[in-house]
Amino acid sequence: MRLIVRHERPIELILAQGRVSIGSAEGDGVCIDDAALLPAHAVFQWDFDGRLLLLRLATGARAHVNGRPVSELAILRAGDAITLQHVPVDVLSDQVSLLDLHAALAQRSHVPAGPKIVLRCVAGAMFGQSFAMREPIALLGGTRMQSGPSDSTSAVTLYWLGDHALVLSGADALDIEINGYVGRAGCLHSGDQLRVGDLRFVLEAPGVVSRRSGQHDAITPVYGQRILEQASIPETPPVGVETEPASHRGLLVTLAMAGLIAVILLALLLFVPH
């Protein structure tokens, strides 16, 4: 993943497996002292063995992800747009999903998609609406969405090709943006983001395994409190210390209880008057 910090002069950061902070302190990875940021205002780091990119905020820090306020923690994906106070930060994929327009036109075909494969709007005038990919769908501009092929030069059309969607932008349409990259044609895989004007979409294709390689491109998102409910890892005993099997411990407890009951019965027989 890559971060583009757009303040005065754009700053590009490569996120491999470490962490980077953006704030007003000299020790921050990116120090911006004229934008009302706090020290370590935002920390970007990989977590859960490099499967999730997390944004952690300092106490009292303000941030928005895709226009929504974040108070403490957010899960990030390629294509997300972040605002720290008034500093824009874009999250980009390591891989470019854009294609040559002529090559994309040659690939154009349609494979019927399952009923659960949808394009969901997460920002803009169509927020909350979902569109099934059983047929090609075309965004004609504004809030107009059409099912079936469209030859309109102003349309952005999506075709399902088996494990991803092919996105084509008409000759008169604005450039599309896939995971933060601008172009006129591209591949949209499960979880990827598509921006057309003020509209931002996410492709949801549960159960579809993409041929696209890359450790961080095959992330299965984990949302909400599920992050905090991960089972704790059992402690590993020190080297050289033998642990007693659970079955043996259970047997010892049973024998001890039986012995205690026998002692109580014997006391009753000896000391209770007959």
Reported as a single tens digit per residue, the pLDDT across 1-46 is 788 898 888 888 887 767 889 999 989 989 998 889 999 999 998 8
What domains, with CATH codes, occur in the chain?
2-92 (2.60.200.20), 101-220 (2.60.200.20)
> What does the alpha-carbon distance between residue 33 and residue 30 come to, in Å, rounded to a whole number?
10
pLDDT confidence of residue 213: 44
**pLDDT at position 221, please?**
33
The Cα 136–Cα 240 span in angstroms is 63
Per-residue pLDDT at 209? 73
Do 138 and 146 form a contact (C-beta atoms < 8 A)?
yes
Q: Is the dihedral of CA 27, 41, 88, 119 positive or negative?
A: positive
Residue 57 has pLDDT above 90, yes or no: yes
| Partners of 82 in beta bridges | 65, 89
% of the chain with per-residue pLDDT over 70: 77
Return the minimum-mean-pLDDT range out of 48-52, 68-72, 172-176, 245-249: 245-249
State the sign of the Cα–Cα–Cα–Cα dihedral 73, 78, 79, 85. Answer: positive
- With a pLDDT cut of 90, the percent of the chain lying above it is 13
162-183 per-position pLDDT tens digit: 888 988 887 777 678 888 888 8
HSE value, Cβ hemisphere, 13 Å, CA-based, for 225: 1
DSSP string computed for 204-257 = E-TTPPPS---GGGS-----GGGGGGPPPPPPPPPTTPPPPPHHHHHHHHHHHH
Q: DSSP readout, 123-159?
A: ESTTTT-EEE-SS-EEEEETTEEEES----TT-EEEE
Q: What is the pLDDT of residue 238?
A: 47
Distance separating alpha carbons of residues 26 and 244, to the nearest angstrom: 52
Q: Nearest 5°: phi and psi at 86?
A: -125, 20
pTM: 0.58
Terminal Cα-to-Cα distance of the chain (whole angstroms): 85
Given this model, what pLDDT does residue 235 score?
46
User: SS3 for 196?
Assistant: strand
Which distant-in-sequence residues (6+ apart) come within 8 Å of 175 by Cβ?
169, 182, 183, 184
Q: Would you say residue 128 has pLDDT above 90?
A: no
More confident site: 23 or 212:
23
Predicted local distance difference test score (pLDDT) of residue 84: 94
Q: What pLDDT was estimated at residue 177?
A: 86
Which residues pair with residue 192 across a beta bridge? Answer: none
pLDDT band at 61 (very low <50, low <70, confident <90, very high): very high
103/114 Cα distance (integer angstroms): 26
135 CB neighbour count, 10 Å cutoff: 17
95-109, 150-164, 191-205: which range is least confident on average?
A: 95-109
Asked whether residue 160 carries a pLDDT value surpassing 50, the answer given is yes
Quick: pLDDT tens for 92-121: 877 667 777 777 777 777 788 877 899 998
pLDDT of residue 56: 93
Segments in 61-112 forming alpha helices (H): 101-107
